[in-house]
Amino acid sequence: MKRFSKLALPYIVWAALMLVLPMVLIALYSVMEQGNSIISFSFTLDHYIKFFTDPDFLLILWRSIAIAVKTTLICLILGYPAAYFISKCSEKTQNVLILCITLPMWINMLVRTYAWIGILSEGGILQRILGFFGLGDMELLYTEGSVLLGMVYNFLPFMILQVHTSLTKMDHSLLEASADLGADPVQTFRRVTLPLSLPGVINGITLVFLPAVSSFFIPKLLGGGQYFLIGNMIENQFITVGEWNFGSAISMIIAVIMMLLMMAVRRIEIHNQGGKGARA
């Protein structure tokens, strides 16, 4: 097989140009004085200082992380049982259910989110239904709840699919062995199924948390003008304010925070595998 290694060369060049270089550029722009070009580079940390000394910006960062954590938790609480249920069905039913879950993902994410505006808005269908229960006055759109709903709606399928994959990959004889050895279903689930599905859970968390933390169209569409997250801040810097260097600095900050969080999550995974799975 060695002779095929040359085939990787073009891709390595491409990856350096299209994947690595852009990140380098963000880093460069973020420490450059506003209005400078790469050629007349002059170093400054002002953009980072500006971000970290302003309580308003920090609040936005905190809020973005908080809502992403909430989204991830809800997706996990809803997604895990759903994936578990699917994995217990016959293969044919499984295929149908998985298809049902993937199908909406083929329809544009923005369009689906946009449809929620009509459903949630004042005088819309949901408010009318709630009206029957005497809750007609509840504000639905442009609240934190609507942003959260939009995120769960968009990202829940990722969680279900990931967990489902890891559950179906599992060796079923392990479950039988566990039952034969006298474990009740709850014990089997806790001691066997759950640890073995952990990689799927971790992948699911990554796939939900990452887009949730930096999403900017969901807060913009469902949160209204007053719901500002870190993604909106970055968009704003690039599209309407035009301070690219500050925008790059915010991007760097969020990228680094994400990297650290992801590393922490991976560590849990490795720790768990070393502790339980491997020795069993």
Partner 1 sequence: MKKSRRPFGKILMFLMIAFFYLPIIYMVVFSFNESKSLTSFTGFSLRWYEHMLESSDMMTALYTTFSVAILATLISTFVGTIAAIGLSSSRKIIRNIMEQVDNLPMMNPEIVTAIGFMLLFITFQVEKGYVTMLLAHIAFCIPYVILSVMPKIRALDPNLADAAMDLGATPWKALTKVIVPQITPGIVSGALIAFTMSVDDFIISYFVTGQGVKNLSIVVYTMSKRVNPSINAVSTLVVVIITIVLLIVNIAPLIAAKKSARSELGKRKRFVPAAAGCLAVIIVVLAVYQGGKGTGDRPFEGQTLHIYNWGEYTGENIIPDFEEETGAKVVMENFDSNEQMYIKVANGEPYDILVPSDYMIQRLIEEDYLQKLDKSKLDCMDKLSDAVKGLPYDPNNDYSVPYFWGTVGIVYDKTKVDIEDLEREGFNIFLDEKYKGDVYLYDSERDSFMMALKALGYSMNTENEDELQEAYGWLVQCVETMDTEIVTDEIIDNMAQGRKALGLIYSGDATYVMAENENMGYYMPETGTNLWSDAMVIPKNAQNPDLAHAFINFASDYDGAYDNSSYVGYTSANEEVMAVLSGEGGDYEGINAYIPRTDNENDEVFVYNEDTKKIISDLWSRVKIAASNAD
Among positions 159-188, residues that touch partner 1 (CB under 8 A) are none
Distance set, CA 49 to CA 27, 34, 69, 237 (Å): 15, 14, 26, 16
Give 78's contacts (C-beta < 8 A, 6+ positions apart): 152, 156, 159
Based on the shown chain and the rule CB under 8 A, indicate whether residue 85 belongs to the binding site for partner 1: yes
Q: Which of 3, 92, 172, 279 binds partner 1 (CB under 8 A)?
A: 3
DSSP summary character for residue 54: -
Of the candidates 186, 239, 264, 270, which one interacts with partner 1 according to CB under 8 A? 239
Please identify, among the stretches 94-102, 169-177, 191-199, 272-280, the one whose residues bind partner 1 according to the rule CB under 8 A.
Answer: 94-102
Q: What does the alpha-carbon distance between residue 107 and residue 244 come to, in Å, rounded to a whole number? A: 32
Beta bridge partners of 32: 43
Q: How far is the C-alpha of 175 from the C-alpha of 196, rounded, in Å?
A: 11
How many Å apart are CA 233 and CA 247, to the nearest integer?
Answer: 8
Select from 40-48, 164-172, 223-231, 272-280 the region that touches partner 1 (CB under 8 A): 223-231
Residues in region 135-164 near partner 1 by CB under 8 A: 142-144, 153, 156-157
For position 52 contacting partner 1 by CB under 8 A, the verdict is: no
Q: Which of 18, 181, 186, 278 binds partner 1 (CB under 8 A)?
A: 18
Measured from the CB of residue 280, what is the shortest distance to partner 1 in angstroms? 23
Looking only at residues 200 through 219 of this chain, which bind partner 1 when binding is defined by CB under 8 A? 206, 210-211, 213-214, 216-217
Is residue 231 a contact point for partner 1 (CB under 8 A)?
Answer: yes
DSSP type of residue 190:
I
Chain position carrying tokens 């009206």: 131
According to DSSP, the residues that pair with 43 across neighbouring strands are 32
Task: State the nearest-atom distance from the C-beta of 223 to partner 1, in Å.
Answer: 8
